[in-house]
Amino acid sequence: MTAGRPLVVAALGGNALSPPDRPPAPEELEGALAVAADALAPIAESHDLIVTHGNGPQVGFLSATQPGMPLDILGAETEGWLGYAVEQALTNRLQGRTTLGIVTRVVVAADDPGFIHPTKPVGPVFDHGEVARLRTEHDWVFADDRGGARRVVASPEPQEIVEAEEIGFLCRSGAIVVCLGGGGIPVVRDERGLLHGVEAVIDKDLSSSLLAKTLGADALLILTDVPGVYADWPGREELLRDPSVADLKARTFAAGSMAPKVAAAVRFVEGGGGLAGIGRLSDATALLDGTAGTVVRR
């Protein structure tokens, strides 16, 4: 990266940028991203910075309104839309600093078990009559949720970031790079080495962890709308401030929310990374300093 400057990968959660139950109005997204830019600006002043972001609420609602559109195309659509918005907010907050957005592809295995047993919920809750219609018309898989059901899709493990080398080059040139929107666009390689999009979504935090590890980042920040990782949630709500990797591995976390964040932090630290933090977007600087949220170290 840039000589003498440590590299931070900051992963912005989709729910931190958007209401979880509907697409954001333009002014809501602009306001949320202004807050994100303010939180990241102090880090960018003294670090090389890569910003990744979620797209769960957005891609889910697009899939509901465009049910015949493949998920890789919808992922690319939301990655471009949200990436542009993040890029714009950072450019306006950090004038004089180059910010670049990259639509990013992520290789997954064609035989990943996630394709056989889809588990990732996307989109709104449908009533059971609508579920029956969508299941018949589009062969969707559903899981019960809040009195109705939500579509569940494959969420395969990220294996390789196609544009990792180019992202690293841009960082070494001093640019802030916005990439890996929604975990990246899922693609598989065929026997000739050609890439093909697949019907899936990739977990943004696991992809961010892989990118941070690939580029030798000094820190991975997983920024969301909660203060950190809680033990025994829900119930006895104890914030885990400085847990060991072994402690986190011994615990069970919610599969659809905190579990992938914890797994991403653990993978990064075990892969040689210095610090992984999980916490609120507003606490980004304190999280990097180890004074807020949940911090995992080597």
> Is 92 a known active-site residue?
no
> What backbone torsions phi and psi does residue 146 show, to the nearest 5 degrees?
50, 50
Catalytic, out of 101, 120, 182, 273:
120
Q: State yes or no: is 204 an active-site residue.
A: yes
Active site residue 15: yes
Which DSSP string do the residues of 123-157 spell out, in sequence order?
A: EEEEPHHHHHHHHHHH--EEEEETTEEEEEE--PP
> For this structure, is 120 an active site residue?
yes
Q: The tokens of 119 are what? A: 């588990």
CA dihedral sign of residues 192, 195, 197, 201: positive
Backbone φ/ψ region at 272: left (φ over 0), alpha (ψ -120 to 50), beta: left
In the chain, the largest separation of any two C-alpha atoms, in whole Å, equals: 59
Of 101, 168, 213, 261, the catalytic one is 261
CA-to-CA separations, 70 to 75, 144, 151, 189, 194, in angstroms, rounded: 9, 23, 14, 18, 19
Q: Which of 15, 148, 197, 290 is the catalytic position?
A: 15
Residue 213 a catalytic site member: no
Query: Which of 60, 204, 228, 273 is an active site residue?
Result: 204
Q: Would you say how long the chain is, in residues?
A: 298
Amino acid code (one letter) for 242: D
Catalytic residues: 14-15, 120, 204, 261
